[in-house]
Structure 1
Amino acid sequence: MAEILFFHLQSRPLEQVLPTILERALAREQKVVVEVSSQERLSAVDDHLWTYADESFLPHVTALEADAPQNPVVLTTQAHNPNAAHVRVCADGVRIPDALQDYERVVLIFD
């Protein structure tokens, strides 16, 4: 059964919280899938992860890209696990998935 973590966005927006969560998972050598509620939000998060810090970026792809299964971080708008991720991040109103057994950790980020 997956460990479920809840993160309430009280003082910082998703754009500030998500990079830290992803960096920690990558440091543990865990693959991550991030699900958001719309294609517009996905595009915004995608752009932000490439530019969130001057000294670094987070390597990632969207689920629509052909090499998504090989990437450590995949962004999606669907309830699937395209890269066999260990960690699932549900943000922007997305619910916890039914398939909890597929993950070691599920992070629900809510406002």
Structure 2
Amino acid sequence: METRVDFYVLAEGARLNRERLICRLAGKAYAHGKRVYIHTGMNEEAMRLDDLLWTFEDIGFLPHERAEEAPDPDTPILIGCGTEPPQTATILITTAHPVPAFIKRYERVFEVVDQDPERLKRSRQRYREYQARGLSPHKHDITGGDITGAQVTGGHDSGF
């Protein structure tokens, strides 16, 4: 199985911010029955995403736990920072730099990039690192708030 890497690049002025797009991607994967591991580079970001996943949906929440808290193995979305990722997830959403060593465990890897100059610079480095590992990252430009046309489902919109 070759890991597919997708970069979702938020345009300047996009209605979504980076963390909300991460939640949307996790929600879409969850809706398709996939397990997700969100790997952050900083504990503060993991805490913000933890809070946001509880309030992100208007009529519900996305079920999740922090990986550091000995989660239930059936939890569909885990958030971790510096922890060994679970073996059960098939989708990795990463905000960490550099590229995690464990990416090949996953069917899909999602990177979310905004226009912050430092994050943009690091994302370009990670893009090149994926290429150096023999992977061919796919880039999706996000200009509004809708990700349905961004091929979050593997090159076509039929599901993860």
TM-score, normalised to structure 2, is 0.62
Q: Is the 8 A contact 1:42 1:77 kept in 2?
A: yes
**Of 16, 35, 38, the match for 2:39:** 35
In the alignment, structure 1 residue 3 sits paired with structure 2 residue 4:
yes
Larger Rg: 2
Residue type matched to 2:97 in 1? V
In the alignment, structure 1 residue 102 sits paired with structure 2 residue 84:
no
TM-score, normalised to structure 1, is 0.86
Q: Is the 8 A contact 1:70 1:83 kept in 2?
A: no
Name the structure 1 match of 2:150. Answer: none
Q: How many residues align?
A: 110
> 1:55/1:103 Cα in 2 relative to 1: closer, same or farther (>3 Å)?
same
RMSD: 1.8
Structure 2: any 5+ residue segments left out of the alignment? 115-160
Name the structure 2 match of 1:13. Answer: 17
Name the structure 1 match of 2:69. Answer: 65
Name which of structure 1's ranges 33-42 and 60-69 shifts more when overlaid on structure 2: 60-69
Name which of structure 1's ranges 82-91 and 54-63 shifts more when overlaid on structure 2: 82-91
Name which of structure 1's ranges 93-102 and 10-19 shifts more when overlaid on structure 2: 93-102
Residue 83 of structure 1: how far off its partner (Å): 5.0
- 3-state SS in 2 of match to 1:64: helix
Q: Is the 8 A contact 2:67 2:83 kept in 1?
A: no
Distance 1:99 1:53 in 2: 30
The superposition leaves residues 55-90 of structure 1 with CA deviations (integer Å, 9 ceiling, x where unpaired) of: 121010001122253311000112632252100001
Q: Is the 8 A contact 2:54 2:62 kept in 1?
A: yes
Distance 1:77 1:25 in 2: 20
Distance 1:30 1:53 in 2: 18
